[in-house]
Amino acid sequence: MAPSDSGLGGRTGGGFGNEKERVKVGVSDAEVTTRDVTLVTSGLGSCLGVALYDPHSGIGGLLHAMLPESADHPGPPEKFVVDGIDQMIDDLDRAGAARRSIQAKLAGASSMLDLETESASVGEQNVDAAHRALEARNVPIKNADTGGSNGRSIRFEPAEGKLFVSSADGDRRVL
């Protein structure tokens, strides 16, 4: 994951009207940008979306993490809430964000299914992990829309620090 100051699609002009260019963030993926773009990720069930941004510089990023912490589990840092947050803070730092100004917004981590052999759902564990990791790194959580039993798709505009959350039943929230 590298700051996408050039990146793909730099010349597309962002499609229709004044809509910003959209940049896709996959599952177990993160994107940090210095540009005025919209970061989008969809299909958050138990996965957690973590938006981090520096409101002064407008530099920000979005993480779509699957599990709380790497521990012994296989996969890249972006697969995990804690490891992904660490990586994203480093990338924000490198991209020129002020470390002390970084703020967070969270969305996702629902508990749609009651899977056997689980004390807490993956969604709950992901939210706990995010709270622990962000608190330890002195990053305030400005707003959150987590839990419940619905899936979510999110769009993040780092320049404004706005996180748009929509669910399958048509509900929309702006955090």
Q: Which is nearer to other proteins, 71 or 138 (CB)?
A: 71
What phi, psi does 158 have (nearest 5°)? Answer: -60, -35
Q: Number of helices and strands (H, E) in the chain?
A: 2, 10
87 binds other proteins per the rule CB under 8 A? no
100 binds other proteins per the rule CB under 8 A? no
153 binds other proteins per the rule CB under 8 A? yes
Q: Which is nearer to other proteins, 136 or 149 (CB)?
A: 149
46 binds other proteins per the rule CB under 8 A? yes
Q: Which two tokens stand for residue 162?
A: 């706005």
Work out how close the CB of 117 gets to other proteins at its nearest, in angstroms, rounded to a whole number: 9
Reduced to 3 states (helix: H, G, I; strand: E, B; else coil), residue 126 is: helix
Q: Would you say 23 and 31 are in contact if contact means Cβ atoms under 8 Å apart?
A: yes
9 binds other proteins per the rule CB under 8 A? yes
Q: Percentages helix, strand, coil for the chain, rounded to the nearest 5?
A: 20, 35, 45
152 binds other proteins per the rule CB under 8 A? yes
Distance CA 99, CA 96 (A): 9
Work out how close the CB of 55 gets to other proteins at its nearest, in angstroms, rounded to a whole number: 25
146 binds other proteins per the rule CB under 8 A? no
Work out how close the CB of 16 gets to other proteins at its nearest, in angstroms, rounded to a whole number: 9
Q: Would you say 175 and 145 are in contact if contact means Cβ atoms under 8 Å apart?
A: yes
β-pairing, 103-108 vs 141-146, is parallel
Q: Which residues bind other proteins (CB under 8 A)?
A: 8-9, 11-12, 14-15, 21-24, 26-29, 40, 42-47, 66-67, 73-75, 79, 110, 112-116, 121-123, 150-153, 167-168
